[in-house]
Structure formats: C-alpha cells, structure tokens
C-alpha cells in the first residue's frame, strides 16, 4: 500500500469544541494536533476510526480501540510541567506513555506520511481545537539513519537541536480562537536521503498550566520537486488469494475473504462459527470495500 500523500498545506476538517458544565465547572484542557505534517492520531481520525483505510491505522485501532482516534486532540499529560523525558518512557513517545494511545507507538514503515523536500523551508501547522496560551511548541526530527519500520522511537533517536522552538506564539488570528492554526516556519535538514522516512516529534507546553501535548508526524524525504521514489514491490511476494468465507474455517488475523460480493479482513485469529458471517460480526471482520 502506498501510504503517503504529496501535500503542500494542511486540510481543514470539522472541529470539536468542548464545553464545561455550568453547574459543575471543570478545568478546560487545551486540545490539538499537527495538521501539516499530519500527526498519526489526526490521520487515523480522518480515515474513520470505524473503518480505517491504511494498514497502520487499522492495526492501531485493533490495538487501542476507536476512542483514541475520536480523541485525536488529547494526547496529553496534565501535570507534565516540562518533565517530558522524565514522564514518557522510550518506545512510548507517540502515545505520551498513555495506555489509551498505545496504537500510536506501533513500529511500522507504512504509517501514512507526507512528502517534504530535503533541505526545504516549510510551515509546520498545528490545529488548536481548543487553543490555550503557549509557553513553547518544539519540534524534533529523528536522526539520520533512524528507521521507523524497525526501531521504536526513543528520546535518543531525536536530534538534540529542535527543528523549531516557538515561544509564546498565538494562532494566526492572534486571538487563540477555537480551531485556530499555529503556523511555525522551519527548515528540513539537507543531509537526508531522498525516499527515507523520518518522524517529527512535537511538544506543546502550556504556559498557564502544567499540561503538555505530544504528537508524532511521519514524513518522507522528497527531492527538490517534492517527489519521492515509489517502493518497489517484492518480486518474491505471492499474489494474494482471497477465498470465500466458510463456516468452520480457521482464520488468522489479517486474512481476507469475500462474502456476498464484498471483501472483509479478519481482525483476530478465530474459527468461524455458522452464525459469525462477516457482516454480522464487525468485531471479527472489517469491511474493506
């Protein structure tokens, strides 16, 4: 599956505004996520958590459930107060160490990614679903040679010098309005190999609260024209043979079947019972077309 988009700006989608109770006021949290390049949580939300399109989002939902992606803007630690490395273990940076978001930490080389030309200037765009005063927004890119397909993301995998470090910024309208955009101009290193992958790890530390937000955005390094080579299929990989669903058959997770003209993909290892036809068991089968 080709899991990247050639994009030059973030896309607008419908926002979520959270309202506190009038009778029982609660602290309002900031919420948001990168829109360009899109964070993993935002990508899977846009794909539809109930029926993700990409294999990466599909597995992330299977691992962590759908709610994490309806709450794409809440990858946070309420009492971080700058203690990011202390609180977030290696291998759990994308989830901020939270069980709810553990699907974001999956080690895969096919997370949907956006192409950014090597050494180019670009605008990092962060969508603040519920903006709040910013102490800083910092972005770190993974070091040259890091391979997200085989390596869990650790703090030592990030370049020591931030890709950007924006202090006290506001949304583009200057009012920190709901669904406002934080736009940070930055530059990609020029020593990266075209076609390689990297992760931009972003931290938003609030100024009037100890709360902080975190995000992983996957990118592919493009050439000067914004292109990246298309992965070459493995010639030894056999053609996919999709058989009709049949009761009594044992299916491995990921196996595809056809049923009444549609294709389904198994969500878990199981033996199909007579009354477990794919349309009747969305917990076992995911519709693929």
Looking at residue 9, its pLDDT comes to 34
* Nearest CA-CA partner of 196 in 124, 159, 143, 236: 143
Q: What is the pTM of this model?
A: 0.78
Looking at residue 32, its pLDDT comes to 74
Helix then strand count (H, E) for the chain reads 4, 16
Q: Which two tokens stand for residue 76?
A: 């946070």
Q: Say yes or no to pLDDT of 8 above 70.
A: no
* Nearest CA-CA partner of 140 in 41, 74, 76, 214: 214
Angle at 5 between CA 2 and CA 6, to 5 degrees: 125
Residue ranges of alpha helices (H) inside the chain are 40-47, 55-64, 67-70, 84-87
% of the chain residues with pLDDT over 70: 82
d(CA 258, CA 50): 19
Q: Which two tokens stand for residue 68?
A: 């994490």
Looking at residue 95, its pLDDT comes to 98
d(CA 219, CA 117): 10
* Nearest CA-CA partner of 128 in 177, 85, 189, 64: 177
Q: Which two tokens stand for residue 90?
A: 């290696």
d(CA 35, CA 135): 20
CA 166 to chain centre: 22
E strand spans, the chain = 4-5, 31-36, 76-77, 113-117, 121-130, 134-141, 164-167, 180-187, 197-206, 212-222, 243-244, 250-251, 256-259, 262-266, 270-271, 285-287
% of the chain residues with pLDDT over 90: 55
Looking at residue 128, its pLDDT comes to 76
- Give the chain's length: 289
Q: Say yes or no to pLDDT of 280 above 80.
A: no
pLDDT digits (tens, 9 = 90+) for 103-158: 999 999 999 999 999 999 999 999 877 667 899 999 999 999 999 999 999 999 99
CA 124 to chain centre: 15
Q: Label residue 23 by pLDDT band (50, 70, 90).
A: very low
C-beta separation of 137 from 186 below 8 A: no
Q: Label residue 21 by pLDDT band (50, 70, 90).
A: very low
**Going from the N-terminus, what domains does the chain have, and what CATH number goes with each?**
4-222 (2.70.50.50), 243-287 (2.10.10.20)
Residue with tokens 């930490």: 105
pLDDT digits (tens, 9 = 90+) for 190-214: 999 999 999 999 999 999 899 999 9
Looking at residue 247, its pLDDT comes to 82
Average pLDDT in the chain: 83
């Amino acid at each position: 599956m080709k899991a990247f988009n050639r994009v030059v700006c973030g896309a607008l989608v419908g926002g979520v505004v959270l309202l506190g109770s009038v009778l029982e006021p609660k602290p309002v949290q900031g919420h948001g996520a990168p829109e360009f390049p899109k964070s993993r949580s935002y990508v899977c939300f846009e794909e539809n958590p109930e029926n993700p399109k990409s294999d990466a989002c599909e597995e992330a939902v299977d691992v962590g459930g759908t709610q994490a992606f309806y709450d794409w803007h809440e990858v946070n630690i309420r009492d971080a107060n700058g203690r990011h490395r202390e609180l977030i273990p290696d291998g759990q940076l994308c989830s901020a160490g939270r069980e709810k978001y553990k699907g974001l930490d999956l080690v895969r080389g096919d997370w949907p990614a956006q192409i950014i030309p090597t050494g180019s200037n670009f605008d990092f765009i962060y969508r603040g679903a519920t903006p709040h005063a910013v102490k800083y927004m910092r972005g770190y890119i993974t070091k040259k040679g890091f391979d997200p397909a085989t390596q869990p993301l650790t703090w030592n995998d990030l370049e020591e010098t931030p890709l950007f470090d924006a202090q006290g910024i506001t949304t583009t309208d200057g009012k920190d309005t709901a669904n406002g955009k934080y736009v940070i101009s930055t530059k990609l290193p020029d020593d990266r190999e075209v076609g390689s992958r990297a992760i931009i790890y972003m931290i938003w530390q609030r100024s009037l609260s100890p709360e902080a937000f975190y995000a992983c955005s996957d990118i592919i390094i493009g050439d000067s024209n914004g292109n990246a080579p298309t992965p070459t299929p493995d010639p030894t990989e056999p053609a996919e043979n999709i058989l009709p669903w049949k009761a009594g058959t044992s299916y491995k997770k990921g196996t595809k079947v056809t049923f009444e003209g549609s294709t389904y993909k198994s969500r878990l290892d199981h033996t199909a019972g007579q009354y477990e036809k794919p349309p009747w068991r969305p917990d076992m089968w995911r519709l693929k077309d």
